[in-house]
Amino acid sequence: MSKIRLLSPRLANQIAAGEVVERPASVLKELLENALDAGATKVEIDVEEGGVQQIRVRDDGIGIGQDDLPLALSRHATSKIYTLDDLEGVATLGFRGEALASISSVARLTMTSNDSESSMQGWSAFSEGREMEVQIQPVAHPRGTTVEVRDLFFNTPARRKFLRTEKTEFNHLEEVVKRQALSRFDVSFYLRHNQRGIHALRACKSQAEMERRIASVCGPAFMESALFVEHEVNGIKLWGWIALPTFSRSQADLQHFFVNGRVVRDKLVSHAIRQAYADVLFHGRHPAYVLYLELDPNIVDVNVHPTKHEVRFRDGRTVHNFLFSSLHRVLADVRPGDNPAPTQYVQQMPAAVPADPLARGEFQGQASMGLQSHGAAVAAPAMFGGYSLSPAPSGGDISDHMQASRDFYQAPAPSLEAQGSEEVPPLGFAIAQLKGIYILAENAQGLVVVDMHAAHERITYERLKLAVDGEGIRTQPLLVPQSMALSAKEVDGAEQFAEEFAKLGFGIEAAGEESVLIRHIPVNLAQADVLQLVRDVLADFLTYGTSDRVQQQRNEILATMACHGSVRANRRLTIPEMNALLRDMEATERSGQCNHGRPTWTAMSMAELDKLFLRGQ
């Protein structure tokens, strides 16, 4: 007898199910994707006992005709692609034609559908993990489809054992609903658990309604400190909302990214975004965002993973650079009272200061108020003591700039009258210094409190970066070229990216099949562990097509210098000196956070102060 045998359809499907159906949430994800692919405008989800007992999804999409119904449940049966070419530019969420077959091999599945607008005559198909034969019977059903999945893993006890508590499974289900709800603002979603209403998200018709949906899905605190982003270059478009760095998370749990409407977790994407936040985020914290990338489906491969959570970009490096530069710019531009960029890069959200931000364990106190006041003009920094932030003159040493920065705050102060009839700038005018640490200022809305060391540190740091950028990256030859052992693949990579290495100040050439010679290194990194750095940069190039490690190392050094070169606590500043610092903050990129990502200022409006004193209540 032959040793090789064909698997029974049921076993084949159960094996395939292992890839797609991990838990109730994965079932729901597939059912929701099908409903959306069917053009539903309204999706109702009913869940019993964390989805293990039952998941029912009802949609008002195009439905399935009587003849197609049994096919829908068979493996490799799909209405979404017919040829390989269709796969190239696939625009639907599904296309593998195996979700329903997989689910019905490990649960009891009933699918009821009607594809006619005019009659209530629908058909119901039932399948329960048998040899996949399907019985069909007539039932009344409006146009659309209802899928009911009961007793998940009833015939695969080993899988059932991996299920967690009802609450945990439900949390996963809810997460799936939230993500799909964020992916399609034009669709209504209703979620009930054990007959209790959990979410009722009506279709959104305006940006304000979209923002309300995000607030109910991601929490109002996110929306309060979110910036709207929109950027398009050469047919690639990014839009959505990113939280200010001062609203960060201890976990990467508020990161929603969609590629052409598909929920995606992609390391290239998260790397690019992390890099955009690198200079402003408090150590160990994670940024929060809801972002949409839209690009020609022909340049993304969605057929990389059975659950379609990952994608592959044909030109990953372009996408990485596009994401990084779009977000980096937006974050750098966040300044107290700054005008939105003319391109509508950033739009200010209606912001309300949270009643008790600290209780939520988030840094976010300052976010909202400065951003509202974008109408106010920023006084030219040059007005105050002729000091300016313009890029460093070429040549000159970094220490000159450090000195200049220290000198400034000892410079003879301009008089307050100089402001005369000027509009009140966003951070207002200084009234006092508190305990040698904080500057108290008054602006149009009320009180502003500034941590003067943190603020000055950021200003000095940004100036140092400008100075070094102005010089360009200089390179120095090593006395003795360093040889370095690498794998053959890495040596290929090093050659392929030789030009990129040169741009970063490295001179690297292949010295054999498994070694390279390092001849030049960037000047200001003479102290760094060169071999490790080259290894890391190369790994970045190979994975993301780009690397910011050299800049990161350099920035670390500059940040340390800035810290030592900035006004310390307990330095008495005169009022004009304090005003000059405030004006500097308004003119400096990223001045809302110190170099470590902590906020540099916070504000309290008159309304908030009045509330504290129960005034007018």
Residues that bind ligand ADP (CB under 6 A): 30, 34-35, 38, 59, 61-64, 72, 77-80, 94-101, 145
* Residues 6+ positions from 87 with CB-CB distance below 8 Å: 81, 95, 303
Determine if 281 is a binding residue for Mg ion (CB under 5 A).
no
Q: Look at residue 106 and give the partner it binds from ligand ADP, Mg ion, none, a contact being a CB closer than 5 to 8 Å depending on partner kind.
A: none
Return the one option of ligand ADP, Mg ion, none that residue 96 interacts with (CB less than 5 to 8 A, by type). ligand ADP
Which residues, including other chains, have CB under 8 Å from residue 503's CB and lie 6 or more apart?
A: 473
Closer residue to ligand ADP, CB minimum distance, 131 or 495: 131
Q: List the single partner that 16 binds among ligand ADP, Mg ion, none, CB under 5 to 8 Å by kind.
A: none
Beta carbon of residue 35, minimum distance to ligand ADP (angstroms, whole number): 5
Mark 26-65 with x for binding to Mg ion (rule: CB under 5 A) and - for no binding.
--------x-------------------------------
Q: Say which entry of Mg ion, ligand ADP, none residue 78 contacts (CB below 5 to 8 A, set by partner kind).
A: ligand ADP
> Binding partner of residue 64 among Mg ion, ligand ADP, none, CB under 5 to 8 Å per kind?
ligand ADP
Closest separation in Å from C-beta 256 to ligand ADP: 22
Indicate which single residue of 94, 122, 245, 599 sits in contact with Mg ion (rule: CB under 5 A): 94
Report DSSP letters for 182-196, one per residue.
HH-TTSEEEEEETTE
| Nearest distance from C-beta of residue 122 to ligand ADP, angstroms | 12
What is the CB-side half-sphere exposure of residue 325 using CA atoms within 13 A?
12
For 368, what's the count of Cα atoms within 13 Å in the CB-facing half-sphere? 20
> 223: which 2 tokens?
């929306």
Task: Give the pair of three-digit tokens for residue 62.
Answer: 């195009």
In the complex, the smallest distance separating the C-beta of residue 97 from ligand ADP, rounded to whole angstroms, is: 4
Q: Of ligand ADP, Mg ion, none, which one sits near residue 98, judging by CB under 5 to 8 A according to partner kind?
A: ligand ADP
Q: Whole-number minimum distance, CB 65 to ligand ADP, in Å? A: 10
Amino acid at 538: L
Interface stretch with Mg ion, choices 87-95, 148-156, 287-295, 365-373 (CB under 5 A)? 87-95
Among 36, 47, 99, 302, binds Mg ion (CB under 5 A): 99
Q: Shortest Cβ distance from residue 73 to Mg ion (Å)?
A: 12
Q: Cβ distance 44 to 34 under 8 Å? A: no
Q: Which amino acid is at 599?
A: P
Give the nearer residue to ligand ADP in terms of CB position, either 304 or 416: 304
Contacts of 452 by beta carbon, 8 Å cutoff, 6+ apart = 433, 437, 438, 439, 567, 569, 571, 573, 578, 581
Burial class (CB in 10 A: 0-12, 13-18, 19+), 71: middle
φ, ψ at 9 (rounded to 5°)? -55, -35
Instruction: Choose between 32 and 392: whose C-beta lies nearer to ligand ADP.
Output: 32
Nearest Cα to Cα of residue 45 among 124, 166, 136, 149: 149
Q: How far is the CB of 52 from ligand ADP (least distance, A)?
A: 20
Question: Which is nearest to 134 in space by CA: 105, 156, 99?
Answer: 105
61 versus 597: smaller Cβ distance to ligand ADP: 61
SS3 383: helix
34 versus 546: smaller Cβ distance to Mg ion: 34
Taking CB under 5 A as the binding criterion, the range among 88-96, 286-294, 318-326, 364-372 that sits at the site for Mg ion is 88-96
Q: With respect to ligand ADP, which residue has the nearer C-beta, 111 or 217?
A: 111
DSSP state of 315: T
Taking the complex as a whole, how short is the minimal distance between the CB of residue 148 and Mg ion, in angstroms? 16
- Report how far Cα 293 is from the mean position of its chain's Cα atoms: 11
CB within 8 Å of 465: residues ≥ 6 apart: 555, 558
Quote the least distance from Cβ 78 to Mg ion, whole Å. 8
Binding partner of residue 95 among ligand ADP, Mg ion, none, CB under 5 to 8 Å per kind? ligand ADP
Q: List the alpha helices (DSSP H) in 200-307.
A: 207-218, 220-224, 267-277
- Bridge partner residues of 127 (DSSP): 109
Residues that bind Mg ion (CB under 5 A): 34, 94, 99
